[in-house]
């Protein structure tokens, strides 16, 4: 059970949030209304997707007070506390891409398949491009194609042909590139990487305990962030870390745990 603690907690969070949103539309619950683009908590507190609001802003939209405040609340929460936790604890696509990544490991695709080159920074280019296009076209361009909003809206308000987009992401991650969507393409994830860059909650690596089994690196969807494994004791500070806690789950030696961001760095002594 200990090996699945954070995984189960995350699934619980993701599913409960979905149930609350769906309940709001079907049964009129007032706890969490709207969707991930913009919601209203208990009909009072606004929450908005900072990336969507950024796109609206560059189109020259007049921007309602509620979405500005909502985006600020969300950005402050992830910026100060959660880091990029949105991606692994809230986003519904995470369940799809996690399943694809898990299947890839079970079916040993990565061992057979030759990797084709994609840059991890592709997502930042897409992020920049989406803002330029939004400004030029006068409409939030990523919001019109976003599979995240599509999936979330689909589950709450009816899917339409949106299932196709989800299938494409699943198959892309399964057959084309490991963690392709979340780790390379998604500009919303890129936004959250930037917002959460300086957040307080971080995974701490205790290098002396590490036996270099590399299970953490196998399960990590953003392998670059674990560059210190078995090298030095330090916090995982790269903004791309989604705080999913899967590495903490799989580590049998307790060499990884959640803690508050630390600025110290202690190289592992090689004796």
Partner 1 sequence: MKTETPNERRRFLLSIARGIGLSAMGALVWSAYVGEVKAAPLVLRPPGALDEAEFIKNCIKCGLCVEACPYDTLILARPGDNLPMGTPYFTPRSVPCYMCTDIPCVPVCPSGALNELSVTSYVKNKAVLDINKAHMGLAVVDENSCIATWGIQCDACYRACPLLGEAITIEHSKNDRTGKHAFLKPVVHPDQCTGCGLCEHACVTEIAAIHILPRALAMGKVGDHYIKGWDKEDEKRLEGASIEVTKTKISEKSALDSLNDEGGL
Q: Which residues bind partner 1 (CB under 8 A)?
A: 24-25, 28, 33-35, 37-40, 46, 48-49, 52-53, 56, 59-64, 66-67, 70, 125-126, 128-129, 132-133, 136-141, 143-145, 149-150, 153-154, 156-162, 164-165
Nearer residue to partner 1 within complex by CB, 42 or 112: 42
Closest by Cα among 55, 33, 56, 35 to 43:
33
Residue 190 Cβ, how far from partner 1 at the closest point, in Å? 14
Q: At what angle do helices 50-59 and 187-195 cross, to 10 degrees?
A: 110
Nearer residue to partner 1 within complex by CB, 42 or 161: 161
Residue 172 Cβ, how far from partner 1 at the closest point, in Å? 16
Residue 101 Cβ, how far from partner 1 at the closest point, in Å? 25
User: Rounded to whole angstroms, how far apart are CA atoms 69 and 89?
Assistant: 22
Nearer residue to partner 1 within complex by CB, 62 or 264: 62
CA distances from 85 to 2, 59, 126, 137, 183 (A): 20, 28, 21, 31, 14
Residue 33 Cβ, how far from partner 1 at the closest point, in Å? 6
Torsion over CA of 158, 163, 169 and 173, rounded to 10 degrees? 120
Residue 152 Cβ, how far from partner 1 at the closest point, in Å? 10
Nearer residue to partner 1 within complex by CB, 38 or 94: 38
- Terminus-to-terminus CA distance in the chain, angstroms? 34
Residue 133 Cβ, how far from partner 1 at the closest point, in Å? 6
Alpha-helix runs per DSSP H in the chain: 5-26, 50-59, 65-77, 85, 93-106, 109-112, 122-137, 141-145, 147-157, 162-171, 180, 187-195, 215-219, 246-250
Nearer residue to partner 1 within complex by CB, 18 or 56: 56
User: Rounded to whole angstroms, how far apart are CA atoms 197 and 240?
Assistant: 8
Are the C-beta atoms of 253 and 210 separated by less than 8 Å?
A: yes
């Amino acid at each position: 059970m200990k090996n699945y603690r954070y995984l189960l907690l995350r699934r619980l969070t993701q599913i409960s949030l979905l149930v609350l949103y769906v309940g709001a539309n079907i049964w009129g619950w007032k706890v969490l209304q709207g969707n991930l683009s913009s919601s209203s908590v208990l009909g009072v507190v606004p929450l908005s997707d900072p990336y969507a609001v950024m796109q609206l802003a560059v189109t020259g939209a007049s921007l309602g007070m509620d979405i500005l405040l909502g985006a600020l609340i969300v950005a402050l929460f992830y910026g100060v506390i959660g880091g990029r936790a949105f991606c692994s604890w809230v986003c519904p696509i995470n369940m799809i891409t996690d399943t694809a990544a898990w299947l890839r490991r079970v079916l040993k695709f990565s061992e057979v398949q030759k990797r084709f080159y994609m840059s991890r920074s592709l997502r930042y280019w897409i992020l920049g491009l989406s803002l330029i296009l939004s400004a030029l076209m006068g409409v939030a361009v990523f919001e019109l194609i976003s599979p995240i909003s599509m999936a979330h809206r689909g589950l709450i308000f009816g899917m339409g042909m949106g299932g196709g987009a989800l299938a494409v992401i699943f198959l892309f991650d399964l057959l084309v590139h490991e963690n392709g969507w979340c780790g390379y393409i998604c500009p919303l994830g890129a936004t959250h990487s930037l917002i959460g860059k300086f957040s307080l909650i971080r995974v701490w690596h205790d290098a002396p305990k590490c036996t270099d089994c590399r299970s953490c690196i196998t399960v990590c969807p953003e392998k670059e962030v674990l560059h210190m494994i078995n090298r030095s004791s330090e916090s995982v500070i790269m903004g791309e870390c989604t705080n999913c806690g899967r590495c903490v789950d799989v580590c049998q030696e307790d060499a990884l745990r959640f803690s508050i961001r630390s600025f110290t760095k202690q190289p592992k002594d090689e004796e």
